[in-house]
Amino acid sequence: MSQRAAKLLKEDLLATAPQKAKDVSQAQADILAVVRRLEDEGKIIIERGAQRVAS
């Protein structure tokens, strides 16, 4: 990450109110569901470790 991007991220984190762990977990689950669906549809390829896995 560039120094400029890191600075912007830090500023965003400082300006954003803390989030509830429950809300964060739900957002992560939603993102993971989309990623898995895209992988199942063959629209993306997820590399896991040294293996390349395609659905």
Task: Report pLDDT digits (tens) over 4-55.
Answer: 999 999 999 999 889 999 999 999 999 999 999 999 999 999 988 876 556 5
Location of structure tokens 């739900």: 26
pTM: 0.60
Beta bridge partners of 46: 53
* pLDDT value of residue 49: 81
d(CA 22, CA 4): 31
* pLDDT value of residue 20: 95
d(CA 46, CA 7): 29
CA 22 to the chain's CA centroid:
16
Each domain of the chain, given as residue ranges in start order, spans 19-55
Length of the chain, in residues: 55
Quote the DSSP letter at residue 53. E
